[in-house]
Amino acid sequence: MDRPGRLLLLSELCVRNVAYDVSLSRSLLTWKRLASSPVYRPFRPMLYVERCRQHHWCCAEVTFTCPDGVLCQNWVSSIREQLASISARPRNLLVYINPYGGKRQGKRIYEQKVAPLFAKAEISTHVIVTDYANHARDHLKTDADLSKVDGVVCVGGDGMFSEIIHGLVWRTQIDNGVDPNCPDEDLSPCSLRIGIIPAGSTDCICFATIGTNDPVTSALHIIVGDSQPMDVCSVHHHNMFLRYSVSLLGYGFYGDMLTDSERKRWMGLARYDISGLKMFLTHHYYEGTVSYLPARGIIGTPRDAGRCRYGCAVCQHNGQIQSERAEKYKTNEDSECADDGEWRTIRGKFLAINAASMSCACPRSPKGLSPAAHLADGTTDLILVRKCSRFNFLRHLLRHTNKDDQFDLAFVEVHRVVRFRFTPRYCQSDSDLELDLLENGKRQIFSQICRDHPACGCTRTNSSWNCDGEILTHTAIDVRVHCRLIKLFARGIEEPQVFADLSNPCVI
């Protein structure tokens, strides 16, 4: 028999609903022995996971006694055998903590809520508290020994997650001999899963993958060993790599809002509200050309009533199609053939151009920018908001917070695409610029001079791209979706019925 206090871990974990008996077959997360007795052997409570309120998981406990020492030892041996045979659950994790993100609570959240759970699950961790911006990215690119870990965990917000993505994806491409600067290259998928302990301002990634930004729930998904594939967009300017994106690429309204909010960081989280109001009142529009490659042979549209959930059939079907198509073109020397479709072009004046690779739901926008977007179907939803009145644009923005269809407006269009390119009007050819000058004369020249001074009434020439909360250095970009490039310690959002039906125990 093990000494008192020894932790024994089960191979699989059962999620039980509140106030009902625990299923003994696969229900235990940990087992701790309390004392010895010649007659019976009580144990400290065995910890397991149960669903509490919507999308939240929590630890619960139950105590068992065993009158037979031989039977007790058999239980212990059986549990150890199961643990040894399960590869999905992580044993060693590399943890990065951003102490400055959100409300600066990342370190406290990890130490008080997450580290004790990892210790009970006998997960070894190597913890690095980041000292500067992109510390985690740079460490993953060059210094981290990834052969000794089963996953990478970030404690912070969406910005910290973006750092991990850039470091891990870049490292994977270099190790596999892939040129990240070539927009036509098929990127190699990352083998390590990524865990997110939310401690940021919006935590969009957590809301899209598990339905909540609760740190304990995220930690339990990591302990269980859940796996959720996710698409990643690569963003290039000509043949130069700029960034990866997993949630939102926004030009116009969202790009201007981010640019303005960066000057107001001293205001804290209130800067987003102030900058959003300012950009709405300013009401800038931008001219340019959008070319996109529609997704072919897929199921689902951006205006579907269904949502991406645990076991999503759309992700499974479309992801399989995209994977087969990519495999088909691996041996094709003509990279242009890999586009496998006809490009379509739209020119106009836009208040906003957004590409949502997931719903982008958060507390401020419960439905998100594109409610029917999917995590792992190999596509992104391209949303074009044409020039309109302030009143109509306000109608569009308000529909992000209610149940109305935000795409059911004459000045809004949405397309599900696998690739798109954007060229601002004033980055087009010299012949186009000369034609514009002939048409508009001195008014156009004056607009170029005073574009940084909106008070004069002239329209700003270009906006900036908001790429997952970071400003891109170029406006002319080429965006390509890479299907299931990364995997998270998550499972997708579970249906509300799972949490509402308390009489039906559910096994993970």
Task: Name the catalytic one among 158, 226, 377, 478.
Answer: 158
Task: Spell out a b/e string for 161-173, using b for 16 or more CB atoms within 10 Å of the CB, else e.
Answer: bbbbbbbbbbbbb
Q: How far is CA 347 from the centre of its chain?
A: 30
Residue 11 amino acid letter? S
Distance in angstroms (rounded) separating the CA atoms of residues 332 and 174: 22
CB atoms near residue 37 (< 10 Å): 11
Other Cβ atoms closer than 10 A to 405: 12
282 residue type, one letter: T
DSSP secondary structure code for residue 362 in this structure: B
- Run of H or E residues at 154: strand 151-156
Angle of helix 442-449 relative to helix 430-440, nearest 10 degrees, comes to 110
- CA 228, chain centre distance (Å): 10
Bin 281: left if φ > 0, else alpha if -120 < ψ < 50, else beta.
alpha
Active-site annotation holds for 158: yes
The candidate with the shortest Cα–Cα distance to 216, out of 100, 102, 118, 150, is 118
What is the spatial distance between Cα 504 and Cα 454, in angstroms, rounded to a whole number?
A: 60
Residue 415's DSSP bridge partners are: 382
Closest CA to 236 of 184, 177, 293: 184
Helix axes 270-282, 390-398, angle to 10 degrees: 150
Residues labelled catalytic: 158
